[in-house]
């Protein structure tokens, strides 16, 4: 029984779509929202130095120039960026595509679902479902992800990739947690300062000295004087 590697990993994704033009064409024609009657006929892989610059270039895995059946050319840049909630977003895309993008035939829609299922579910499959075996391109893509199809060096690179993903996700979580904690602390500090400022304004109205205001609010002399100056400016403006 074959064990399948995750097709979304850098190594496996490149092996499927970066080395097999026929599979790339099949995938793009299945998932891209082309108008009826339009489809990709040819693809040409682009070296990284020929691909156009974009904000997500560092995540780029496969870049290809595509030519459709109307001889129009366009560039497709395929990326991988692992973030919190990635799988739920991918599953949402699958649902959204099946509901909103109307394929010409039932077989077109079925192929779209099969490709997206392959990306989402293949790693956890014990065996390939019959509907996936029936399609030549889906079957070939699954075979390319079989663990036995990789050398020990490639498998080591695969595991290293996931170590990097886990490290990146941990760093992102830590940064978010730290940012949230700092945001809460900053909010509390600002709230405390604002409360002290309001108390100081009321004490000034009652003619209490600056020294006592500093004593009971914790504000500095400069902060109280600034409140006085602001009040004076507002009074003159009015």
pLDDT in tens, 174-221: 777 777 766 676 667 777 888 888 888 888 887 888 888 888 788 888
pLDDT of residue 94 exceeding 80: no
pTM value is 0.60
Question: Is 221 part of any domain?
Answer: yes
pLDDT at 233 over 50: no
Tell me the pLDDT of the chain averaged across its residues: 78
- Residue 142: pLDDT over 90: yes
Q: How many domains does the chain have?
A: 2
Q: Is the pLDDT of residue 87 over 70?
A: no
Of the two residues 82 and 123, the one the predictor is more confident about is 123
**pLDDT score, position 68:** 94
Q: How confident is the model at residue 222 (pLDDT cuts 50, 70, 90)?
A: confident
Same domain, 123 and 45: yes
Picking from 96, 125, 150, the residue at the C-terminal end of a domain is 150
In sequence order, what are the residues at sequence separation of 6 or more whose Cβ sits closer than 8 angstroms to the Cβ of residue 209? none
pLDDT given for residue 43 in this prediction: 94
Domain boundary among 150, 181, 214: 150
User: What pLDDT sits at residue 80?
Assistant: 62
CA nearest neighbour of 62 among 44, 79, 82: 79
> Same domain, yes or no, for 48 and 122?
yes
> How large is the average pLDDT for residues 28-54?
78
Are 123 and 180 members of one domain?
Answer: no
Range of the structural domain that residue 200 is part of: 156-237
**Does 4 fall in a domain?**
no
The Cα–Cα gap between 79 and 195 comes to 49
Q: What is the rounded radius of gyration, in angstroms, for the C-alpha atoms of the chain?
A: 30
Do 129 and 181 belong to one domain? no
The helix (run of H) or strand (run of E) holding residue 41 is: strand 40-45
**133 and 213, same structural domain?**
no
Q: What is the pLDDT of residue 84?
A: 52
Alpha helices in 18-104 (DSSP H): 21-31, 86-100
Q: What is the pLDDT of residue 66?
A: 93
CA dist., res. 86 & res. 210, Å (int): 56
Tokens of 217: 């609010």
pLDDT at 104: 55
């Amino acid at each position: 029984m074959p064990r399948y590697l995750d097709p979304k990993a850098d190594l496996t994704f490149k092996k499927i779509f970066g080395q097999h033009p026929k599979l790339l064409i099949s995938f793009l024609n299945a998932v891209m929202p082309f108008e009826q009657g339009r489809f990709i006929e040819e693809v040409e892989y682009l070296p990284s130095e020929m691909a156009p610059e974009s904000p997500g270039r560092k995540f780029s895995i496969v870049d290809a120039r595509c030519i459709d059946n109307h001889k129009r050319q366009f560039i497709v840049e395929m990326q991988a960026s692992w973030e919190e909630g990635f799988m739920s977003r991918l599953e949402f895309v699958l649902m959204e595509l099946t509901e909103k993008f109307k394929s010409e035939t039932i077989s077109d829609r079925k192929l779209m679902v099969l490709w997206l299922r392959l990306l989402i579910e293949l790693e956890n499959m014990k065996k390939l479902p019959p509907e996936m075996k029936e399609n030549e391109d889906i079957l070939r893509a699954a075979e390319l992800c079989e663990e036995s199809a990789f050398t020990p060096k490639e498998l080591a690179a695969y595991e290293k990739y996931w170590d990097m993903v886990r490290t990146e996700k941990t760093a992102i979580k830590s940064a978010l947690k730290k940012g949230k904690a700092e945001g809460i602390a900053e909010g509390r500090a600002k709230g405390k300062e604002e409360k002290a400022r309001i108390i100081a304004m009321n004490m000034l109205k009652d003619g209490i000295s600056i020294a006592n205001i500093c004593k009971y609010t914790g504000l500095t002399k400069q902060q109280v004087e600034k409140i006085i100056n602001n009040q004076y400016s507002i009074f003159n403006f009015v």
